[in-house]
Amino acid sequence: MSTDPPPAPPALGKVPRTERGRRTLRKLLDAAAGEFAEKGFHETSITGITKRAGTALGSFYTYFDSKDEIFQALVSDMSDRVRQRAMQSISADMTSLETEHAALSAFLHFAREHKEIYRIIDEAEFADPESYRKHYETTAQRMLGRLRAGAESGEFRDDVEEAHAWAIMGMNVFLGLRFCVWSDDRTIDDVAEVAARILERGITAGNEPR
Amino acid sequence: MSTDPPPAPPALGKVPRTERGRRTLRKLLDAAAGEFAEKGFHETSITGITKRAGTALGSFYTYFDSKDEIFQALVSDMSDRVRQRAMQSISADMTSLETEHAALSAFLHFAREHKEIYRIIDEAEFADPESYRKHYETTAQRMLGRLRAGAESGEFRDDVEEAHAWAIMGMNVFLGLRFCVWSDDRTIDDVAEVAARILERGITAGNEPR
Amino acid sequence: MSTDPPPAPPALGKVPRTERGRRTLRKLLDAAAGEFAEKGFHETSITGITKRAGTALGSFYTYFDSKDEIFQALVSDMSDRVRQRAMQSISADMTSLETEHAALSAFLHFAREHKEIYRIIDEAEFADPESYRKHYETTAQRMLGRLRAGAESGEFRDDVEEAHAWAIMGMNVFLGLRFCVWSDDRTIDDVAEVAARILERGITAGNEPR
Amino acid sequence: MSTDPPPAPPALGKVPRTERGRRTLRKLLDAAAGEFAEKGFHETSITGITKRAGTALGSFYTYFDSKDEIFQALVSDMSDRVRQRAMQSISADMTSLETEHAALSAFLHFAREHKEIYRIIDEAEFADPESYRKHYETTAQRMLGRLRAGAESGEFRDDVEEAHAWAIMGMNVFLGLRFCVWSDDRTIDDVAEVAARILERGITAGNEPR
DNA sequence: AATGAATGAGACTTCATTCAT
DNA sequence: CATGAATGAAGTCTCATTCAT
C-alpha cells in the first residue's frame, strides 16, 4: 500500500502574514463554500461571496487571483477531506471486503453531512475539469491499490484492474447521490450493505454466502 | 412492466409551420448540440449557436424562448436516444445477465460515438437539475424493472431493489466516462465484460463461475 | 362660429379595395385601440396587435407603414369622436353657460365610457407630439369660439381670450381624469355642476347667484 | 394645516459612501434629467445617460437598479421641488385669493425655468403611473387644504371640495403647458391674473369686481 | 490590508420591419 | 391579400476585475 506523502500545507489562497489576514481568508473560504454549494459555480458571484463573508469586494483579490482559483482551492480541499475521512475509517485488521464497506460508509456519511461536496466536486467537471479528473483518478488509484492488496491476500480475484476500481467508484458515487444527497430515507448501513453484497457475490442467485 | 407510450413528438421548441422553418429549427438544434458539447452550457452563447447554425440571432427566438429551453430540449432528446439505443440492443431471448451486458454495451458504444452526450447530460445537473434527475430516475426505474424480471425468472437474487439499480447505473456511467469519453484504449466488450462479471459474482475470489 | 369643413373621409390606413380587406383593416384598428389603451404605446407590439386581431403579422403592413402611423390614425379618430360628442350635445337655444355645461357633460360621459381615450390621447404627448398639440389646440380654438360668441351675446365678459380657453379646458380634462377615468364615485352632473359654478361666479363668497 | 415633515433625505438611488461616489451620483442624476427632458422616457437609454454623465455604463448600476428607478427618483425630486417653490411663495398675511395667485405664479415661473418638468412628470403617467397619481393627488390635497382655509375665513364659498381642487389644478397645469412650456409669449403675471379672475368671479359678465 | 467605486466587455432578449411563399 | 419566417440593430443588465483612497 502506498504511503501518502504528508499533505502539503494546503495553499488555500495567498498566505496571509497577520492574524487579521488569516481570519479574513478563512471567512472568504467559508463563504465561498456556502455560495458554491447553494448556487453553483456560475451563479456564484464574487460580490455574493464577499457579502456573505462580510468583507469588502476588493479584499477578495488580496487572497485570490480569480474566481477559478478559489474554486480550485475548494475542490482540492474537499477532495482531501473525503479522502481523509475514508482513510480514518479503515484499519489494518479489516478484511478487504470490510475495508471497502468501511470506506463506502465513511464516504456516505461524509456526503450526507456535507451535501455541498457533491455540488462542488461535480461541478468541477465543467468549471475546472483538471481538478475533476484529478480527483477521480486519484480516488480510483487509491481504490485500485486496495483491490490489488485484496487480491494478493487471496480475498479478491486476481484479475482486478483499473476498470474494477472505476466500476466500484461509480457505484459508490451514485449511491451517495441518490441516498445521501437527494434523500435521507435509507440508513447508510443499509445502502453500504447493498454495495458490499454486490462486491461479495454479484447479484445472481445461487451464489450462497459463505 | 409498463409498455412505454410511443414518445410524443418531442416538443423541441415551437413547431414550425413551413418547410423552411423546419430546416431552420433543425440547424439550430444541431448547432446547439455542437456548442454545448464543445463549450458547455455556460460558455455557450446564443450568438455562438446562431453563428454556427448560419442564421440570424433573432431567428433563435422564433423557436426558443431562452437558452435554457433549447438546452432542456436537447437533454430530453439525448436522454431518449440513449434509452432507445439500449432498448434496441436487447431481446426477449437473452438471459438477464446477457441483457444487462447488452444494455451496457449499447450504452458504451453510444457514449463513444457521442461523447458530447456526457457533457450535455452531466451538465444538466447544474443547468437544468429537473431534467437531470428525471433522466437518471427514469433510467434507474427501467433498470430496476429488468432486475425484478430477472429475480422472478430465478436468475437474480430476489432482494434486488432500487439501490441495486443505482449502484449498477453508477458503475455503467463511470465506466463510460473513463473508458469511452476520456479514452478509447480499451475495447467496449472488454469493459462490459468487467461489469458483467461483477454482477455475476462480485469481485471476491472463490465464487467459481458456474 | 366657424363652420367645420366636412370631416375628410377618415383615412385610417391604406384604403382597402375588397370587402375582405375592409374587414381586416377594421379588425386591426379595433385591436390596436385595445392594445394601446391597455398597455400604452411603447408596451404595445405589432405582434400583440395582430395576435389580438387574429391576423398574420405581415398583414399589418398591408394597411399601415408603421406603428406610428396606426397610432396617429387612432389619435385622430379619437379626437374626432370626442369633438363630435361635444357638438351633438349642444344646441343653438342654450345659453352660453348651458352650452359649456353640456359640452363638459358630454365629454365626461365619453371619458367614462371610453377610459382608453385618455390613455391614447395623453400618451400622444410623447409618442406623437404633433397630434397631441393639434388635438388640444383645435379643442382650445373651438372653445374660444364659443367663449367669444358668449361675450358678444353679453353673457360672458368681453375680455375672454385664449388663456381662458386653456384654463377651462385644463379644468375639464383634470375633472375627467380624476372623476371619470380614475374613479366613478361621483355623478357626472355633480362634477359638471362644480365646473359650471366656477365659470359662473368663481369660488369666492359673496357673488350671489343671480 | 399640517406642517410637512422636513422631507427625508431623498433616497435618490443607493447612497454613496465616498465623496467621489457622491459626485458620480450627482452627475448621473443631472444627465438623466437632461436626457428624459429632451428625449422622453422611452427614447432615453442608459447608455445615453452615462455618456452624457461621462461615466462608464456600469457605473449607472452602482447607483440604480434600472431606468425605472432613476426615473422615479427624478419624478419624486421634481415633484418636491415644485411643491417647495409654491410653498415659499406664499405667506400667512395673504388673502386666500392672493395665495392662489402666488402659488400659481410660482408654479409658472418654475415651469418656464424648468420646462423639462412637464415632460418628466407628465410622462410618468405612462412610465410610472404610481408616482404620477401620487404627485397629483398630493398636490390636490394641498390645494384643497388651502381652499378650506379660505372658506373658513369667509373668503371662499363654503362648499369647496375635492372637485374644486382638481378643477383649479387642471387650469394651472394647462396654462403652464400652453404659456410656459410651449411658448413664452405672455408674461406670467398676465396669465396668472386670468386664472385669479376666474377664481374670483368666473367668466360671466355682470359680476362687478368689488 | 481593507474598502468600495469604476470599468466595459459581453450576454440575453425584444421587436419593428422586410421578404419569400 | 395573407402568411409567418427571417433579420439585426439596439437596449438592458451582470459581473469579474482594476484602481484610487
Q: Chain C partners of D40 at a C-beta cutoff of 8 Å?
A: 126
Grid cell at residue B106 = 449499447
pLDDT recorded at residue C98:
96
Of A24, A47, A65, the last residue of a domain is: A65
Quick one: A101 and A163 in the same domain? yes
Residues with Cβ < 8 Å from D11, sequence gap 6 or more?
D73
Among the three residues C29, C48, C65, which one is the final residue of a domain in this structure?
A: C65
Please indicate, yes or no, if residue B94 is contained in any of the structural domains: yes
The answer on A70 and A41 residing in a single domain is no
CA of B108 to C1' of E10 (A): 38
Pick from D174, D189, D190 the residue to mutate for testing the C interface (most C CBs within 10 Å): D174
* Residue C206 in domain: no
Separation between Cα atoms, residue D150 and residue D165, nearest integer Å = 13
D61 CB contact with strand E at below 7 Å? yes
pLDDT digits (tens, 9 = 90+) for C7-61: 444 566 677 788 888 899 999 999 999 999 888 899 999 999 999 999 999 999 9
DSSP per residue, chain B: -PPPPPPP----SSPPSSHHHHHHHHHHHHHHHHHHHHH-TTT--HHHHHHHHTS-HHHHHHH-SSHHHHHHHHHHHHHHHHHHHHHHH--TTS-HHHHHHHHHHHHHHHHHHTTHHHHHHHHHHHH-HHHHHHHHHHHHHHHHHHHHHHHHTTSB-TT--HHHHHHHHHHHHHHHIIIIIS---S-HHHHHHHHHHHHHH-SBTT----
Residue with cell 442624476: D29
The answer to whether residues C25 and C96 belong to one domain is no
Residue A1 pLDDT exceeds 60: no
pLDDT digits (tens, 9 = 90+) for D12-61: 567 888 999 999 999 999 999 999 989 989 999 999 999 999 999 999 99
> D94 with D187, same domain?
yes
Q: What would the pLDDT profile of A170-179 be if each residue is shown by its tens digit? A: 999 999 999 9
Q: Note whether residue D5 is domain-resident.
A: no
Chain-chain contact of B163 with A186 (C-beta, under 8 angstroms): yes
pLDDT at B17: 86
**For residue A201, what pLDDT is reported?**
92
Question: Domain check: are A72 and A49 in the same one?
Answer: no
Which residues of B are less than 8 Å from A200 in CB distance? 202, 204
Domain final position from D65, D80, D99: D65
CB < 7 Å to strand E — which of 9-38 in chain A? 16-18, 20-21, 24
The domain spanning residue D98 has which CATH number? 1.10.357.10
Å between A24 CA and nearest CA of chain B: 29
Do B58 and B98 belong together in one domain? no
Closest to C203 (Cα-Cα) out of A8, D198, D77, D60: D198
Residues of D in Cβ contact (< 8 Å) with C149: none
pLDDT of residue C122: 86
Q: What is the mean pLDDT of chain C?
A: 89
Number of domains in chain C: 2
Looking at the structure, tell me whether residues D123 and D37 fall in a common domain. no
Predicted confidence at residue D122, as pLDDT, reads 86
CA of C206 to C1' of E2 (A): 73
Indicate yes or no: CB of D199 within 8 angstroms of CB of C203.
yes
Question: Is C6 part of a structural domain of the chain?
Answer: no
State whether C159 and C86 are in the same domain.
Answer: yes
- CA C15 to chain D, closest CA, distance in angstroms equals 31
C179 to chain D: which residues are within 8 Å by CB?
163, 166
Interface contact flag, D194 C41, Cβ < 8 Å: no
Q: Lowest-pLDDT range, A6-20, B167-181, D108-122, D195-209?
A: A6-20
- Mutation site for A-interface testing, chosen from B68, B204, B207, B208 by largest number of A Cβ within 10 Å: B204
Question: Are both A49 and A75 inside the same structural domain?
Answer: no
**Given this model, what pLDDT does residue A2 score?**
43
Query: D16: which DSSP letter?
Result: P
pLDDT of D105 above 90? yes
> Which one is predicted more confidently, A210 or D88?
D88
In a domain, B127, yes or no: yes
CB contact under 8 A, D201 and C204: yes
Are residues A144 and A58 part of one domain? no
**Strand-pair partners of B204:** A156
Same domain? For B74 and B85 the reply is yes
Q: Is residue D8 part of a domain?
A: no
| Residue C1 lies inside a defined structural domain of this protein | no
Provide the CATH number for the domain around residue D23: 1.10.10.60
Domain that holds residue D139: 67-201
Domain annotation covers residue A4: no
> How many Cα atoms occupy the beta-carbon half-sphere of A80 within 13 Å?
15
CB contact under 8 A, A175 and B174: no
Dist. CA A157–CA A142, nearest whole Å: 18
D128 and D151 inside one domain: yes
Nearest CA in chain A to B204: A156
